[in-house]
Structure 1
Amino acid sequence: MSPQYSSRATLSSMPRTTQTLDMTNPCLDGRKRRCGRPSTHDTEELDQYLLEIAAGLFSQHGYAGTSIDQIARKASASKQTLYRRYPSKEALFIAVIMNLTRCLRQAMEETTLHDPLEELRYISRLLLELTLSPQSLGTYRILIADGHRHPSLLRQAITSIGEPFHRAFLKLLTAAEARGQIAPGNADDTTAHLLTGMITGWPLEDSLFGLSPLKTKQEQDDFFDRAWSFFLRAVGGSPHQPAS
């Protein structure tokens, strides 16, 4: 097995080009944004800065309670600077979510299907860690609180985040079935939904109520290992044997 798919791999250990957003304390390595028109070299840093400022305000005030005006003032930028990048507040919020989930989406895109069942295990463990992060919990709370008032926002989040995740799980299940790693008939939408529900359902629900069910990495690992064992038995798979 490649070290890339170690059972102890975490989001923080994965290579990435940008930081994970801190939705409660947005900053950019403690630096303030430079005034004036950014150079080409500074554009990526400015983009990240604006996303972090937006993430912090969305977290503090909710989607409905945050305006482009507020974000621009907090970032010491013009509204035109924001609108050149994001045509609407909805587009900006989706960009915040996309940046938050960048590491997991990258991992899903880079799956080689060399060992699809182990790759599915790796992606599922990353999903649990991402789901329980403070940034993700803040996003879930915003969607729960404001999604019914802004149904297009909820649809955009599902289209941009939920559906790609589901397709990646289904692709890995299909490859695992083709390789004989799981029993025939299990590579379908229902199995993909059951797996993600088993991995994230109870921990997410309790975390949204502030109960912190899995406080440490060891507790997360123990929970995930047991859930994965249940899943393997259900689909007729075999526990992964680490490479010697």
Structure 2
Amino acid sequence: MSEPPAPRSPKGYLSKALTFATRPLDMANPCLQGRKRRCGRPTTDVTEDLDQYLLEIAAGLFVQHGYAGTSIDQIARKACASKQTIYRRYSSKEALFIAVVTNLTGSVLRAMEQTPLTNPLEELRHISRLMLDLTLRPDALGTYRILIADGHRHPSLQQQAVAAIGQPFHNNFVRLLKAAEQKGQINPGHATDTTARLLTGMVTGWPMEDSLFGLDPLKTEEERDAFFNEAWSFFLNAVGGRQTAPAPQQVPG
């Protein structure tokens, strides 16, 4: 059996996920990374690209027209694909929507799960900041609006979204809190579900609420940094944590 690869630093995982979280979705042409696809039958070696392309097309249409206002037929026409191509991958529109949501958050969740626990409190700080950026993405806000508008008509949609996004995020926050407690970085008794929910609510609650109402809070990176740093300091005071300064940036020689 081959030796497992050496663990990468949390900074590597988090910077890659941060790039994903801050990358905007082009609502007029929802082909992320500027990729376009020619109409016609895909070859075997582009199957993965087609899978991603279909998810991106579906994401754009769901955000523009809502869940109820988007059909598999619309997605197929926009993607220059057949309905059978989509149904071979997803058994229903609901299954496709959940795949879209999972794809949206996948990079961030993988960064959380793969982060080595060398400095849990600092890693929790990075991931909390990452979550703020993800929350304010236009496609993420569009997904929240869909769940609010159509969730009561499709209860299983909300349940699956929570299972695919909410619970994994929450579990990783609790995991990092427990690791920080074990290392003595926070006071005992704070590695709980409630503490994790208070932290995520404090970091994302107000910005998300204003954004869902059509306002535009935290327009600049400086405003986001200032808001997050104050929220993080408040959290550290509450749990008896120690403020950790961000790693100094190296100036190119």
TM over 0.5: yes
2:48 aligned to 44, 47, 64, which one?
Answer: 44
Aligned counterparts of 2:102 and 2:151: Cα–Cα separation in 1: 17
8 Å contact from structure 1 (residues 63, 142) kept in 2:
yes
Unpaired runs of 5+ in structure 1?
none
Unpaired runs of 5+ in structure 2?
1-8, 249-253
The question of 1:132 aligning with 2:132 is answered no
TM-score, structure 1 as length reference: 0.90
2:11 aligns with: 4
* AA of the residue aligned to 2:136: L
Aligned counterparts of 2:196 and 2:33: Cα–Cα separation in 1: 38
Cα 1:14–1:211 shift into 2, 3 Å: closer
For residue 41 of structure 1, give the secondary structure of its aligned residue in structure 2: helix
1:219 aligns with: 223
Cα 1:24–1:143 shift into 2, 3 Å: farther
1:100 aligned to 99, 104, 113, which one?
Answer: 104
1:153 aligned to 138, 157, 163, which one?
Answer: 157
Identity among equivalent pairs (%) = 70
2:58 aligned to 54, 57, 71, which one?
Answer: 54
Aligned counterparts of 2:96 and 2:177: Cα–Cα separation in 1: 33
Alpha-carbon shift at residue 13 of structure 1 (Å): 3.4
8 Å contact from structure 2 (residues 40, 80) kept in 1:
no
Alpha-carbon shift at residue 114 of structure 1 (Å): 0.5
Alpha-carbon shift at residue 25 of structure 1 (Å): 3.2
1:13 aligns with: 19
* AA of the residue aligned to 2:204: T
Cα 1:103–1:240 shift into 2, 3 Å: same
2:124 aligns with: 120
Computed over aligned residues only, the root mean square deviation of the Cα atoms, in angstroms, reads: 2.3
The question of 1:111 aligning with 2:115 is answered yes
Alpha-carbon shift at residue 5 of structure 1 (Å): 7.5
1:167 aligns with: 171
Aligned counterparts of 2:127 and 2:32: Cα–Cα separation in 1: 28
TM-score, structure 2 as length reference: 0.87
Paired residues in the alignment total 239
Aligned counterparts of 1:49 and 1:215: Cα–Cα separation in 2: 29
